[in-house]
Amino acid sequence: MLFSSISFLYYFLPILLFCYFIVHNKYKNIVLLIFSLLFYFYGEQIHIWILLLSIIMNYLFGIWLEKSNHKKKILAFSIISNVGILMYFKYINFFITNINTIFHTNIGLLKVIMPIGISFFTFQTLSYVIDVYKGEVKANHHFFDFATYVCLFPQLVAGPIVRYKDIAQELKERKHSISNFSLGISRFIIGLAKKVLIANVIGELSSILLGISNDSILGYWVIAISYTLQIYFDFSGYSDMAIGLGNMFGFHFLENFNYPLWASSITDFWRRWHISLSSWFRDYIYIPLGGNRVSTIKWIRNIFIVWLLTGFWHGAAWNFIIWGLFFALLLLLEKKIWGNFLKKHKIVGHIYTILLVLISFVIFSVNSLNEGIIFMKHLFGFTHLPLLTSEVIYYIRSYGVLLIISMIASTPLLPNIIKILKQKKGIKSMINGLEIIYYVILLLLVTSFLIDSSFNPFLYFRF
């Protein structure tokens, strides 16, 4: 079930809110657990048992770790178990395909379907088990509370990756208030608008341009720009909705995006993009490997291991691995060669970052390496395509206003202006009043778009 669907907005969520707020506080987690399982079952009937297995398995691992004197063996067993399930359902056919290619074998592919959200809930449960092992959190002995943590529907299928230690106290006891609930509603509507009014429509543009026969160099650049904007507003919009829903139910999830397309270096970009994932790899892979407190050779090794895994986490295909290694190389070069230059020349750094991010998402979006190579050739004029065609001009004019709006919306410009205006007493009350009207209008627009349009994908369900 998508957050950006009529069934969720006008059936599932209102019924859940009603049930949640009429029961006593000690039953609220049970209500959330039941509805979260229903939410997951709506989209994943066949493999819901994997989610249930993950809950039971890691609940027991946590208690076992806390009581045992053989913590390292238990931790190793828990990591192998969690990663093994993920590897089988997400990567087994990737390995079989590559074995067949390398050794000229004919091993048949397995009929395996990847469960929705397995990458996200596996990383959440791994962080819980590792944190229990390190003594950073105590194992949760209340099964239904732990199950609620793993299943919590706002972040279950597409993040952000919420660590147990960040919401452990709120699982036991959390405060509900009108101000927090209203903050959640506004954040949810902003994310919903990002997804439906920007990401979906920009996605239509890239799909149209990929399908036209009159290709041009500029057309391929517009595809790269529109896809980058689509995936940003798609995923950041989903994260906004997840954080907003968390607020409605008394949880405070950490931010997952901080205007990454405003970054002035690739290092800065990854401090702003998918923060919960990059911080996960930093804390559970990079630092345990020694981080940057090792020899240069080992540090380079650590960087490439982390970014190889980051790319592979996104999908069982070589383009994702190359995407990750592409960023590894850029981060090394920034650290050792031109990082200081970028810090001194912010405008150059911003142009450099946007260009490389556009190229990275071309790599990210293609279905095969050959398709990616062809796209790059078109992008940089190594084919015989014209610079521009009348058909491409037509679509740029049709979507031009939205492209400009989305580019502005990807920066902190408008929030900063509103923040400055709110510091003036007379204007603050007026803006607060207009905000209510603004959110109502956004919700009505989103609803009308959802009713009229059948194009409502969510890119990160692939991962």
Amino acid 430: pLDDT: 82
pLDDT for position 60:
97
- Average pLDDT in the chain: 93
Task: Map tokens 């559970």 to a residue.
Answer: 284
Q: What is the pLDDT of residue 290?
A: 96
Q: How confident is the model at residue 55 (pLDDT cuts 50, 70, 90)?
A: very high
Residue type, 401: V
d(CA 377, CA 323): 17
Which residue did the predictor score with more confidence, 350 or 213? 350
Is the pLDDT score of 463 beyond 80?
no
Q: What's the pLDDT band for 212 if we cut at 50, 70, 90?
A: confident
Residue whose pair of structure tokens reads 């790319």 in the numeric block: 311
Tell me the catalytic residues.
314
In degrees, rounded to 5, the angle at the alpha carbon of residue 54 between the alpha carbons of residues 51 and 58 is: 150
Question: Are residues 233 and 199 in contact, defined by beta-carbon separation less than 8 angstroms?
Answer: yes
Average of per-residue pLDDT across 402-409: 94
Alpha carbon separation from 97 to 22, 101, 105, 107, 110 (Å, rounded): 53, 6, 9, 8, 10
Q: Please choose, from the candidates 145, 124, 129, 143, the residue with its C-alpha nearest in 3D space to the C-alpha of residue 58.
A: 129
Among 40-44, 64-68, 300-304, top mean pLDDT goes to 300-304
Model confidence pLDDT, tens digit, residues 11-31: 999 999 999 999 999 999 999
Query: Average pLDDT, stretch 202-219?
Result: 88
Which three-class secondary structure state does DSSP give residue 209? helix
- Kindly list the distances between the CA atom of residue 435 and the CA atoms of 248, 407, 418, in Å, as whole numbers in the listed order: 18, 22, 11
The helix or strand, by DSSP H or E, that contains position 227, with its residue range, turns out to be: helix 217-248
Question: So what's the pLDDT on residue 431?
Answer: 82
What number of CA atoms fall less than 13 Å from residue 445's CA on the CB side? Answer: 15
pLDDT of 427: 83
pLDDT single digits (tens) 290-324: 999 999 999 999 999 999 999 999 999 999 999 99
Instruction: Specify the higher pLDDT residue, 119 or 214.
Output: 119
Q: Confidence class of residue 107 from pLDDT cuts 50, 70 and 90? A: very high
Q: How far, in Å, CA of 319 to CA of 351, rounded?
A: 24
pLDDT at residue 458 above 70?
no
> What average pLDDT score do residues 61-74 get?
94
pLDDT, position 36: 96
Share of the chain above pLDDT 70, in %: 98
In 3-state terms, what secondary structure has residue 213? Answer: coil
Give the number of residues written for the chain: 463
Residues in CB range of 10: below 8 A, 6 or more apart: none
Backbone phi, then psi, for 366, in 5-degree steps? -75, 160
- Grade residue 456 by pLDDT with cuts at 50, 70 and 90: low
Residue 224 pLDDT: 95
Least confident of 102-111, 139-148, 318-327, 431-440: 431-440
The average pLDDT across 345-362 equals: 96
Rounded to the nearest 10 degrees, the angle between the axes of helix 143-151 and helix 118-134 is 130
Q: Is the pLDDT of residue 367 over 70?
A: yes
Across the range 360-389, mean pLDDT stands at: 90
d(CA 77, CA 162): 23
Predicted confidence (pLDDT) at residue 459 exceeds the cutoff of 70: no
Greatest pairwise CA separation for the chain in angstroms: 75
State the pLDDT at residue 444. 95
Q: What is the pLDDT of residue 419?
A: 85
**Least confident among 66-80, 99-113, 210-224:** 210-224
Mean pLDDT, rounded, for 177-193 = 95
* Residue 378 in this model has a pLDDT that exceeds 80: yes
- Quick one: pLDDT band at residue 237, thresholds 50, 70, 90? very high
Residue 109, pLDDT above cutoff 90 = yes
Instruction: For the beta carbon of residue 328, count every other beta carbon within 10 angstroms.
Output: 20
At 395, list the tokens: 């679509």
Quick one: pLDDT band at residue 460, thresholds 50, 70, 90?
A: low
Examine residue 160 and say whether the peptide bond preceding it is cis (omega within 30 degrees of 0).
yes
Between CA 328 and CA 338, with CA 334 as vertex, the angle to 5 degrees is 150
Model pLDDT, residue 369: 85
Question: Which tokens belong to 321?
Answer: 């691995």
Exposure string for 336-351, b = 16+ CB within 10 A, e = fewer:
eebbeebeeeeeebbe
Residues in Cβ contact with 29 at an 8 Å cutoff, skipping those fewer than 6 apart: 144, 145, 148, 171
